[in-house]
């Protein structure tokens, strides 16, 4: 397989090491050894759970607090993804997490758009035979206490920039302490504004969190891998054409599964669930999409036919224009 699609990729968890080093230097941050830097950015095999996994976002966020930081981060990440063979991706980030140095949420969104458009100009100048990488942005609401104003603003910004590469919203953050249903007002507003959305669920929390997300009207669920704990949930996903954004290595890191051999992607496909394969966080999880596919080929027997179905599922679920989906269907036909 040469070409790939990633629908679930976090900016702050996927910064290339070279980009982090560049931003550290720009901010006069003391240099670190390779070992120290890896400890800051990536989980070890001893990662205990999702809570520990989420601590790996703290360090890269230090260097994503200016317009220049964000423009560089998006540009460099897209160059890296293109080199891996990606032809479409949706990069998600929470604008409210980039306001620690007086940047506004809107300025953060505009900076990411600028980085994406800079990448397109660079890509147009390349003279090779690879398919172009097209990218869109998803803005994350945060599942944190006392974020009503910030989350409401994120929804409005998604509507304002829907003609400028912003294609939807997400709800991210620790599963469990605050239930998905507590965010109903924001998704009600999103539906009124015709903003597509996806919601993290069924990862640290079980099928009940997925049901809450589905009750809010989502057609895509970030992770959702624990749906297999409930036959009723499996049937609902099939009957309502719900897409799961599966992230194998990430789920292994957070101890949803003990061994990659037992990762049930083939099971999901066999049950006619619209599963997709994604990275979640390339740097935190020490992975990329070509690695994910190769890993599941060798450890779970994922076939070329399975992979083709995963990619078709990604195309159908993408928050992309019909024109873009037709382009992708041509690539994978």
**Band (1; pLDDT cuts 50, 70, 90):** low
pLDDT digits (tens, 9 = 90+) for 302-316: 999 999 999 999 999
**Residue with the two structure tokens 């599966």:** 246
* CA angle (19 as vertex; 71, 328 as ends), nearest 5: 65
**DSSP conformation class of 281:** -
Domain 4-331: CATH superfamily, name plus number: Metal-dependent hydrolases (3.20.20.140)
pLDDT at 239: 97
User: Helix (H, G, I), strand (E, B), or coil: what is residue 288?
Assistant: coil
Instruction: Identify the band that residue 204 occupies on the pLDDT scale cut at 50, 70 and 90.
Output: confident
pLDDT, mean of residues 133-152: 96
Q: β-strands 134-142, 166-172: how paired?
A: parallel
Q: Is the pLDDT of residue 109 over 80?
A: yes
Which are the catalytic amino acids?
203
Handedness of CA 90, 96, 100, 105 (dihedral sign): positive
For 154-159, the CB contacts below 8 A with 24+ separation are 154/94, 154/95, 154/96, 154/105, 155/186, 155/189, 155/190, 155/193, 155/195, 156/193, 157/95, 157/105, 157/106, 157/109, 158/190, 158/193, 158/195, 159/193, 159/195
Q: Are 187 and 133 in contact (CB under 8 A)?
A: no
**Res 50: pLDDT:** 84
Tell me the average pLDDT across 126-143: 94
- CB burial readout 239-257, b (16+ within 10 A) else e: eeebbbbbbbbbbbbbebe
The domain locations on the chain are 4-331
Cβ(282)–Cβ(253) below 8 Å? no
Return the biggest CA–CA distance within the chain. 54
Which tens digits make up the pLDDT trace of 36-83? 999 999 999 889 888 889 899 999 999 999 999 999 999 999 999 999
Tell which residue, 332, 303, 292, has the closest CA to residue 315.
332
DSSP 131: P
Q: How confident is the model at residue 92 (pLDDT cuts 50, 70, 90)?
A: very high
324: alpha, beta or left, given left = phi > 0 and alpha = psi -120 to 50?
A: alpha
CB 218 within 8 A of CB 195: no
Place of tokens 């969104």: 109
Distances (CA, A) of 286 to 92, 291, 296: 18, 10, 15
Q: Look up residue 99 and give its two tokens.
A: 């306001």
Only one residue has tokens 């994120």, namely 154
Instruction: Please write the tens of the pLDDT for every residue from 21-40.
Output: 999 999 999 999 999 999 99
Q: How far apart are CA 71 and CA 68, in angstroms?
A: 5
Other CB atoms within a 10 A radius of the CB of residue 272 amount to: 13
The DSSP bridge partners found for residue 277 are 246
Percentage with pLDDT > 90 across the chain: 90
pLDDT at 17 (0 to 100): 96
Residue entry with tokens 């990218």: 135
DSSP letter at 178?
S
* Averaged confidence pLDDT in the chain: 96
Assign 129 a pLDDT band (cuts: 50, 70, 90).
confident
């Amino acid at each position: 397989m040469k070409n790939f699609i990633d629908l679930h990729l976090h900016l702050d968890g996927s910064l290339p090491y070279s980009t982090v080093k560049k931003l550290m230097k720009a901010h006069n941050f003391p240099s670190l050894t390779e070992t120290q830097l890896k400890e800051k950015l990536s989980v070890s095999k001893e990662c205990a759970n999702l809570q520990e996994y989420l601590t790996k976002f703290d360090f890269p966020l230090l260097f994503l607090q200016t317009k220049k930081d964000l423009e560089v981060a998006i540009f460099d990440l897209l160059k890296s993804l293109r080199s891996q063979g990606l032809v479409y991706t949706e990069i998600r980030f929470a604008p409210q997490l980039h306001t620690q140095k007086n940047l506004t949420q809107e300025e953060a969104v505009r900076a990411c758009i600028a980085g994406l458009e800079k990448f397109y100009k660079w890509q147009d100048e390349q003279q090779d035979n690879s398919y172009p990488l097209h990218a869109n942005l998803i803005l994350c609401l945060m599942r944190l206490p006392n974020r009503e104003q910030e989350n409401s603003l994120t929804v409005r910004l998604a509507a304002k920039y829907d003609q400028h590469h912003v294609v939807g919203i997400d709800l991210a953050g620790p599963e469990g302490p605050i239930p998905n249903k507590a965010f109903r007002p924001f998704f009600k507003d999103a539906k009124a504004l015709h903003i597509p959305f996806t919601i993290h669920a069924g990862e640290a929390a079980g099928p009940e969190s997925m049901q809450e997300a589905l009750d809010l009207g989502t057609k895509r669920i970030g992770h959702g891998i624990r749906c297999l704990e409930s036959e009723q949930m499996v049937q609902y996903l099939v009957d309502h054409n719900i897409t799961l954004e599966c992230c194998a290595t990430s789920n292994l890191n957070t101890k949803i599964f003990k061994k990659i051999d037992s990762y049930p992607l083939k099971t999901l496909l066999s049950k006619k669930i619209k599963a997709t394969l994604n990275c979640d966080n390339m740097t935190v999880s020490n992975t990329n999409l070509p690695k994910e596919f190769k890993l599941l080929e060798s450890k779970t027997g994922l076939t070329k036919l399975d992979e083709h179905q995963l990619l078709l599922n990604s195309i159908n679920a993408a928050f992309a224009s019909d024109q873009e989906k037709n382009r992708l269907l041509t690539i994978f036909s």
